[in-house]
Each structure stands twice: as C-alpha cells, then as structure tokens.
Structure 1
Amino acid sequence: MFDPDSVRRESVLDRGNRLIANYNQIFSRNKVHIIQPDLSESFWKGPDRGWVKVNVDLSVSITDNRATIEGLIRDDRGGWVLGFYRVVCHCSILLAELWALHQGLCRAWDKDFWRVEVDQDSNEATCIVNRASVALVGSALVQAIWTLMQLEWLVRVLYVPREMNEAVDRLAAMGLCQSKEWRDFLVSPGPVAAVVSEEQQRWLKS
C-alpha cells in the first residue's frame, strides 16, 4: 500500500478501499461461515430455519483397530433425514475425524441441501477445515474438504462437546458391530431412535 509507485497512481485511501472490496468479494465467493456455537446449554441444538444439521463422529475397535466413521443428517425441526456409517480401516483418529466430515458433506451435497451446518467433537479437525490451523495443510483429504466447502452452498463447521453429539455417538457404537463395509439408514435404527427423539423434544422446548 505504501510503495511509492503505487501512491503516485492512486491515493492510499483509495487503494485501501479497493483492497478491502477485493477481500470481501473473495470471502463472499468462498461462502464459508465460521461461527461459534452456543455452549451455554450442553445438549443437541437444531440448525437455523432452512438449514440441515450434520453430526459426525468416529469409532475404533479395540480388537482390530478398525475405524468406522458415522454421520447423521437432521432437518431444521430435528427430524431424521439420513444416517450412515463407513469403514475406513486403519488411520489416525484425526484423519478419521476428517473422513467423517468429508463423508457428511458429500452426503448432504448428494441430497441437494444448500445450507448445511456440521457439528463434530474434534476441535483440531474443526480448526483445520476452517483454516485456523496449518496442520495437514498439504493433505489431499483436507484439500478435498475445502473444495467441497467452496461449492455453491453455505457451509458451517462447528466444534461441539461430546454431550451435544450423543445420537451420532450412539450410531458410532452400532457401526462397530456391523459386518458390512458401509450402510445408509433411511429411518432411525432402534438403538438411536430414542436418543434422536429425546434430543429433538428437548431442543424444541428450549
């Protein structure tokens, strides 16, 4: 801004305003909204009207170290849209958290949702995808997540404590007991249905 050649061409104020306008244009194009959730009450909270909520988690078997990732999509009334699990075999917990986020975004995109809020209980993974951490910055998986987040939709990725992620945590326990490599749940499975209903009713009354 203070380069002599630049100052001769335009005033510092004009150049500053132009740089700010350029930044705002780029930020708006990326459509990534970084906000902090309300943690004053630690229970599951639904998304804003017109949005869907995606909760993701992982589980690791203590017998064979097999990792599975799980996700649960609910509408703005807390109703069940889709649940899923995928086996990702052996990888670090952080990479599994990122795989869960990637798959949650893919499923939401496939369902043609365009306002999506993702909750996960890994603060490190949340910081990475929101570009608040340089960890794994060269990872192909992280790049794939960033590419997804920059598509023509609105995406929020938030960190929440485990008690606000209980239903998908219950789904994660189911994933370890499954023999298939992947499965989608179009309706809430029995062990999860009660938790989903309880979370929905508590949120609607709050």
Structure 2
Amino acid sequence: MKILIWNCRRTGNNTFKRNLRELLRAHKPEILVLMETKVTFSSFGNFFNNLGFSASTVVDPIGRMGEIWLLWDTAHVNVHTSSVSNQYIHATIHKEDYEEWVLSAVYASPNPVTREIFWEELERTATNMNQAWLVAGDFNNFTDHSERRSFTPNHNFTRAQRFRERINNCNLIDLGSVGPRLTWTNNRQGLANTMERLDRAMSNAQWRTLFFLEGTVRTLPRTYSDHSPLVVFTQGKLKLNTDGCSRGDPGQSHYGGLLRDEVGSWVWGFQGYLGHCTSLEVEIWGIYRGLTIIMQKGMSNITIERDFQAAMDLIRDGAASSSPFRAIVEDANFFLNRCQCSIQHVPREGNQSANALANLEANQQEHLIYLEDPPSSILSLLITDMVHASVNSRRD
C-alpha cells in the first residue's frame, strides 16, 4: 500500500494539477492526503474522480484554520472516518489481505496555542488506541537542531523538547525517511534561507511490526510547494543499482550507484573516484560504497542489482585468502548480511542509470559524492526505467 502526503500550499491552479498528476502517475498511491489547500473541495468538480479518487473526507478552510483532504481509491481500499477536527482526520483503513488499521492525517496549526490543543486530543486518542496506528502529516515543529538549517539562530529549545515529549506520550515511533531530510523551506535566498523537517510519519509499535518491516517513507523533492511530499510505502521493495567504469584494465576508475523505489523513482545516488585500478576492483567498490550508505542510513532489506557477475560472486561467496580484494570483500559481505540485503544479477540494459553515473564525470576526483537529486543528464534513463518498472508490476 502507498500513501501520498503533501502540504501543497494552495490548490486549484493548473500548475498544482499538473504537479499532482505527475506525482500520482509516478507513485500510484491508494490514499492521498493534501493540506493547506486554500480552496474548497467542491471547487474541483470531478477532477479527483477522474484521477481515480472517488471517495473523500474533507476539512475545508475556515479562515486560516483547517484544510485537510483525505482521498482514497475505492477500487483498492476502503476508509471509514471516525473523527474530524481542523487539525486532523482519524480514519480506519480496510484493504483486502491486510489487517485493519488507523490513519491519523495531521495538519498541526502553526499557532503554538492551537497546536497544543491538537496534542492534547492526540494523547487522549493514543490512550485508547488498541489498533495499528499511523500518524502522518505536517506537524509544524521539529525535534532538535539536526532538523533545522538556518543562519538565523533559534534558541527555542523548550519547543523542540516539548514536541519530543508529546511524541513519547503518544507512544509513537518516528519512521524516518529516505531522500532529502529537511521537508520545508522559506524559499529565501542566501543567508536568509531556513529549512526544517516539519513533515513526518510516525506509528505505534503494532503498525510498524505489521506493515513497515519491508516498508519505507520517502521524502520527495520539492516542486510546486515549499513542502516536500512524503510517500509511505508499507511493503515497497527498494533496489540499489551500482556500476564501475575503468578506462583501461587497469586504468583510471570511477563508480556510481542509485537507490530507487519499486516504480523506479530516484531516492538517492552516489558517485566517486577510485584512482588507478582494475575493472573488477572498481565494481567491488561500487557495491561497497552503496552498502556503507545503506548502513549509515539504518536501512535494510534492499535488493542490490549488478551486471558484473564476478564482483557479485566475490561479495556473496567471499574472496580467497591470497586475493588482493579480501579486506574490501569481507567488509562488503559484512554490510550485506548486517543490513539483510540481497544481491542479484541484471542484464546490462537494466543497469544503464548506474552506468551513466559511473561515467558522468570523467575528470572529477572526489572519493565519494552523495546525490540527493538525479543529475539532469540521466533523467531520460530514469524515466525509461520507471516505465519498465510499471510494466513489470502490472504483469506481476
């Protein structure tokens, strides 16, 4: 199941509609949550019906309050709304072959006093919660200094501490995310720019165990709004593709890789320079670098795809004691098992995006460059991969 959650900061114009269509086409969510819509739901006519979202629960704006829309595709999921306020919608989610669970779609007020009312009500809900529970949306708050980047100091440590206390009082677990960490920007330039992590998904332990062991939360790049959309994948399988490029064997070598979701959308990528080495060595290093990023991000259950069988066999089966690659192979194998990842072979044509990253900058000599967004030169390859992923999922 997939849930798209977005503080879209004004709807109703053609730019919003075009951006939303692209998001829905790429990620195909069954449930859609929109916040800060600024217009009434009725003004959209049949727009959402035509996109496949034929049912909804709506909190339209009342002055500067409210503005949460919860929509769903009745062909795939049934939703029963149990409680509504101007800061949340509580609903029970029914899907075939899934255990019933509760979704709280949140738009917490930017006003601290009003926001406290929301948390008091949420804590009462948590006290009586006996089902799997997901709480997601814009909380208009951050938990610590790592979730804020600004040249303007913020000394309101009490506010962040209180936010953490509220989360703990509700027995919620932050599900984290992959992609850009900070979800909101004030859109100012230079020293006036501020970015914060205001949007997140949290759950109780029951929901995490039932639905999230093979799931992920992905933060998408900002486009139309000053907030990034979030996509919650309850059972989405992520794939890491890596490749190496050696100009000669041995020769000057670069590697590259990218993590993608089940429909082929970019999550993050990397590239790096290894120096003068063999083609086998740079292929091993590409896999190793990808695994170290997975480890650092606390991720697991990722399928690694490669088109170089010899490198795969070494990492999976181990290197001989006399092999010059023994140390790096042992480290890669440790990360592979620790993160519960698997490795499999793909044809060369299925690894084109990783190959393009490895060949992208022949003259760059940084050992590792982490990429939050895809380079423009590989966008056409990513789109091709997404089309192939969509065709394969329909066949399955």
Give me the TM-score of the superposition, normalised by structure 1. 0.68
Partner of 1:71: 257
- Give the equivalent residue in structure 2 for 1:39: none
Unaligned runs of 5+ in 1: 1-48
3-state SS, counterpart of residue 369 of structure 2: strand
- Partners of 1:139 and 1:132 in 2: how far apart? 8
Specify the SS of the correspondent of 1:154. Answer: coil
1:42 equivalent in structure 2: none
Question: Which among 318, 337, 347 is matched to residue 150 of structure 1?
Answer: 337
Q: How far off is 1:104 after superposition?
A: 0.9
Contact 1:50-1:115 at 8 Å conserved across structures: no
* Structure 1 contact 57–100 (Cα < 8 Å) conserved: yes
The percent identity for this pair of structures is 22
Structure 2 equivalent of residue 136 of structure 1: 323
Question: Equivalent residue of 1:83, what SS?
Answer: strand
Q: Distance in 1 between matches of 2:287 and 2:384?
A: 24
- How far does residue 56 in structure 1 lie from its aligned partner after superposition? 0.5
- What's the C-alpha RMSD, in Å, of the aligned pairs? 2.5
Which structure is higher in helix share?
A: 1
Structure 1 stretches of at least 4 aligned residues deviating more than 6 Å after TM superposition: none
Shift, 1:133, TM fit: 7.0
Tell me how far apart the structure 2 counterparts of residues 148 and 61 of structure 1 sit (CA, whole Å).
28
In structure 1, how many angstroms separate the alpha carbons of the residues matched to 2:313 and 2:365? 33
1:99 paired to 2:285: yes
Q: Distance in 2 between matches of 1:154 and 1:193?
A: 30
Residue 247 of structure 2 is aligned with which of 52, 56, 61? 61
Aligned match of 1:190: 376
- Look up the equivalent residue of 1:144 and give its one-letter code: D
Which of 385, 389, 392 aligns to 1:199? It is: 385
Aligned partner of 2:302 in structure 1 is 116
Aligned partner of residue 150 in structure 1, secondary structure: helix
Gaps of 5+ in 2: 1-234
Amino acid at match of 1:205: V
**1:95-124 deviation line (CA, Å, top 9, x unaligned):** 111111100111122222211111111111
TM-score normalised to structure 2 length: 0.37
CA drift at 1:132: 7.5
**Residues 133-167 of structure 1: per-residue CA shift (max 9 Å, x gap):** 7583971111111211221x321111212111011
- Secondary structure in structure 2 of the residue aligned to 1:99: helix
SS for the counterpart of 2:274 is strand
Which structure has more RCO (C-alpha within 8 Å, separation ≥ 6)?
1
> Are the counterparts in 1 of residues 318 and 330 from structure 2 also a CA contact under 8 Å?
no
Partner secondary structure for residue 341 of structure 2: strand
SS across alignment from 1:78: coil
The aligned amino acid for 1:140 is A
Q: 1:51 to 1:109 in 2, by over 3 A?
A: farther
Alignment partners' CA distance in 2, 1:138 and 1:85:
20
Is 1:125 the counterpart of 2:311? The answer is yes
CA distance in 1, matches of 2:244, 2:384: 22
Looking at secondary structure, tell me which structure has more strand per residue: 2
